[in-house]
Amino acid sequence: MAAKKKTSWSIGELAREFDVTTRTIRFYEDEGLLEPARRGQTRIYSAADRTALKLILRGKRLGFSLAESRQLIQMYNPDANRAQIEALLAKIHERRAQLTQQLRDIEVMQLELDEAEQRCLESLK
Amino acid sequence: MAAKKKTSWSIGELAREFDVTTRTIRFYEDEGLLEPARRGQTRIYSAADRTALKLILRGKRLGFSLAESRQLIQMYNPDANRAQIEALLAKIHERRAQLTQQLRDIEVMQLELDEAEQRCLESLK
DNA sequence: GGGAAAGCTTACGTTAACGTAAAGTTATTG
DNA sequence: CAATAACTTTACGTTAACGTAAGCTTTCCC
């Protein structure tokens, strides 16, 4: 038997998996970042929703705002006209520039942490 | 003549150099992140203040809170007893772990941007 | 089948990180 | 030497990103 891949999730399952509250997940929906299906009242999340959530949280770890993550999610949907796509391309370049800057910042900060650690170890002797 | 190194700055000079408002700089002081000297009422910033500000802003670009940056600044001052220094060491390790995670996140996100760009370019043909 | 667990909506509360405005005091400069 | 630019304090306002609580419905489990 091939292992059946899970294709839908409840809000609680996602909350546990990604260690956020259900409130947070519903908030992201209010903000238009997630669009779960419904069975009656109950939300049902697809693999796409799950991916979007992953993307949002990764963005958060990098200090992105939800507005920025919203743009990232849009980059996953190629449902746009020429003008919109060119706008997307511009945003992609912006993000890349930001990531490059962050890489530089991380390098510098790692060095500084190294030095700070040295000073700490020194002063413990 | 040897070039004279600047050793003090006004709030306006720092604001221009780092592209923040004076309000922001004063706010950081309220929060205990900067401790400028005074000539009369007027604030005078030292090289150390300038370094701290740089550190805060670098932290911001990486999504650090001011509380976290405060800790980073403390790592620059070795004026602590044994217990405090060991606490510092622990925080240094935490930060390093976070930076490592951020590096991973950046790598993934760069790949995703590459793919998104490909899709955009495709749909423009 | 009855109670706990999970889900739902609505709505007000909270915190961080400044913005903005008012009103006054020094510094600079044509 | 006057005006304008730069600085000051005090204080209320704002936005993002949820937290928290109340009250109700649905689902699961023994």
Give the nucleotide with minimal C1' distance to the Cα of A23. Answer: D18
**C-alpha angle with apex B110: A85 to A68, nearest 5 degrees?**
60
Q: Are residue A53 and residue A8 in the same domain, yes or no?
A: yes
Is A83 part of a structural domain of the chain? yes
Minimal CA–CA distance to A86: which of B112, B109, B117?
B117
Q: Are residue B5 and residue B42 in the same domain, yes or no?
A: yes
Q: Across the 125 residues of chain A, what is the mean pLDDT of every consecutive 10-residue run?
A: 79 97 98 96 96 98 98 83 90 97 98 95 88
Is A69 part of a structural domain of the chain? no
- Give chain A's mean pLDDT: 93
Determine, for residues A63 and B58 on separate chains, whether the beta-carbon distance falls below 8 Å.
no
Q: Are residue A54 and residue A101 in the same domain, yes or no?
A: no
Q: Measure B87 CA to D2 C1' (Å).
A: 58
Beta strands in chain A, from DSSP E residues, in sequence order: 8-9, 37-39, 42-46
Touching check for B6 and chain A: CB below 8 Å? no
Chain A residues whose CB is inside 8 A of the B76 CB are 116
Query: Which residues between 52 and 71 in chain B have a beta carbon less than 8 angstroms from any beta carbon of chain A?
Result: 55, 58-64
Give the total number of structural domains in chain B.
2
Q: Are residue A14 and residue A53 in the same domain, yes or no?
A: yes
Determine, for residues B58 and A109 on separate chains, whether the beta-carbon distance falls below 8 Å.
yes
B3: containing domain: 1-62
Q: Are residue A52 and residue A97 in the same domain, yes or no?
A: no
Minimal CA–CA distance to B95: which of A6, A117, A56?
A117
Strands lying side by side in the sheet with B37-39? B8-9, B42-46, B37-39
On strand C, nucleotides with any atom < 7 Å from a protein CB are: 6-11, 16-21, 25-27
Least confident of B4-8, B54-58, B93-97: B4-8
pLDDT digits (tens, 9 = 90+) for A91-116: 999 999 999 999 999 999 999 999 99
Q: Are residue B57 and residue B85 in the same domain, yes or no?
A: no
Structure tokens at B22: 């004076």
Give the nucleotide with minimal C1' distance to the Cα of B41. Answer: D8
Report the CATH number that the domain containing residue A27 is assigned in CATH.
Answer: 1.10.1660.10
pLDDT digits (tens, 9 = 90+) for B23-74: 999 999 999 999 999 999 999 999 999 999 999 999 999 999 999 999 999 9
